Chains A and B, each alone.
Chain A
Amino acid sequence: MLWAEGVRHRFGAVPALDDVTFTLPAGHTLALFGPNGAGKTTLLKVLAGLIVPRAGRAGVEGGRGAIGWIGHQSLLYGQLTVRENLRFWGSLYGVRAPVLDARTSGLAARLDLREHLDRRVGTLSRGQTQRAAIARALMHDPKVLLLDEPFTGLDRVATSELANLVREFAGRGEGRATILVTHNVEEGTDLATDIGILKAGRLVELAPRNARSAGQVGARYRELVS
């Protein structure tokens, strides 16, 4: 579960979040839309503990150790191999050595990375790097996934693979929840159980997706944001 309660934040004189309050129960996937500068990434960073808000509280059940974070960048070290990166990040989350090996192999198989495990990340393609970044985020078996524009720069095949992974993560139950920040209304709506729209730091809509199509969500987004 994730929550935010009266969260306000500003960067200097520029307001970034204005009284954002919501709760995302376990089992839900929230697609968060909004124009550039609406505060989407700031909200994710507040939830992840990267930014301490000026007012209000926000958090994730289970704390930072429960979060799987996929940001704009891969967060991987280009000079280390995929295997070394995965072992490093797993170790930071306290994953023990025998489990590290098993998880590395399992995720490599699931993400089609087996042939690339011993290649340096800096030599991988954008799609391969993104798959390695997803493996990194899943190494500690997180309960919550926070995804910030994960589809950026991916081709259709890689986008579809990533969408399947998010679906698979959400479908595993066990109290898992996901927030997906994206400009891709079609993919976001397709994956979501809930739709959120941020405008100038305010959460102007938070509602279950129900049976709304991507077109309907897109129309509502344009209506609220324009």
Chain B
Amino acid sequence: MGGLLRESLVIARKDLALELRTKTGLVSALVFTALVLTVFNFGRDPTAVAALDLAPSILWVTFTFAAVLSLNRAFQLELENQALEGLLVSPIDRRSLYLGKLVANLVFVGVVEAVGLPLFALFFNIPILHVLLPLAAVIAIATVGFVAVGTLLSALVIRVRFAELMLPVLLLPFLIPPLIGAVQVTARLLAGRPLSEVSGWLRLLLAYDIVFVPLAALLFPATVDE
């Protein structure tokens, strides 16, 4: 277990070092987030639909597609000079490769969300400070689930043509349950409703994490072995 954790952290640290060195993926995802929020902000009729009614869906659509951008690059990094081959020859547990990628992706998507959330509040003029902690917790719980599945699928598509297109096609159906749950909980939070109203959705989000993180780690070796 200690070895698995140590190896995962070595992989995650390397991925984050690569991202900090290039910043290509991070800048792209941040620009994408800002652009999508801008388009939604100016693309709606504020006299027809209240911002609060649309905001939760817009927030999660933005986060989901920004995350897909980052998930696409997770294993693309390993194609350079066939580094993936070296990782697979090394004696590390295949699951630590998955967990390392998962940690790096969570940090990456977390940064995008941390920048995207204030932009969202600013563009849609929605106060979030009074619900910041529970909202951050819901975002974290939902993000763990969809990044866990996304990391697995990004490894699956790495050797196919048009991987950038394949990933969202495969991933989005898996994201329907956590996205519905996240939108429902976010809507109640922003409307000032008590969390007890959405305890069922919260349980769904937690259950999704509990099932899919270990399941994805178990299935991962089958996606990279020839």
Tell yes or no: A160 within 8 A of B by CB.
Answer: no
- A-facing mask of B55-97, CB < 8 A → 1, else 0? 0000000000000000000000100111101111111100000
B2 CB to nearest A CB, Å: 11
Q: Classify the interface of chain B: helix, strand, loop or mixed.
A: helix
Contact count band on A: 20 to 34
Partner of B85, one of A71, A84, A88, A91: A71
Q: Is the Cβ of A52 less than 8 Å from the Cβ of B90?
A: no
Contact for B89 among A50, A74, A94, CB less than 8 A: A50
From residue 44 to 86 of chain A, which have CB atoms closer than 8 A to chain B? Answer: 45, 48-52, 63-65, 67, 69, 71-80, 84
CB distance from B170 to the nearest CB of A (A): 23
User: Which residues of the partner chain A approach B121 to less than 8 Å between Cβ atoms?
Assistant: none
Contact of A88 among B14, B82, B88 (CB under 8 A): B14
Measured between beta carbons, the chain B residues less than 8 angstroms from A74 are 81
Q: How many B residues have CB within 8 A of the partner chain?
A: 24
Among B3, B22, B80, B86, the most chain A Cβ lie within 10 Å of the Cβ of B86
Residues in B lying within 8 Å of A, measured CB to CB: 3, 7, 10-11, 14, 17-18, 21-22, 77, 80-83, 85-92, 225-226
Given contacts A52-B225, A76-B83, A77-B81, 19 further A-B contacts (CB under 8 A): A50-B85, A50-B226, A51-B226, A65-B90, A69-B85, A69-B89, A74-B81, A75-B82, A75-B83, A75-B85, A75-B86, A76-B81, A77-B14, A77-B18, A88-B10, A93-B90, A94-B3, A94-B91, A121-B81
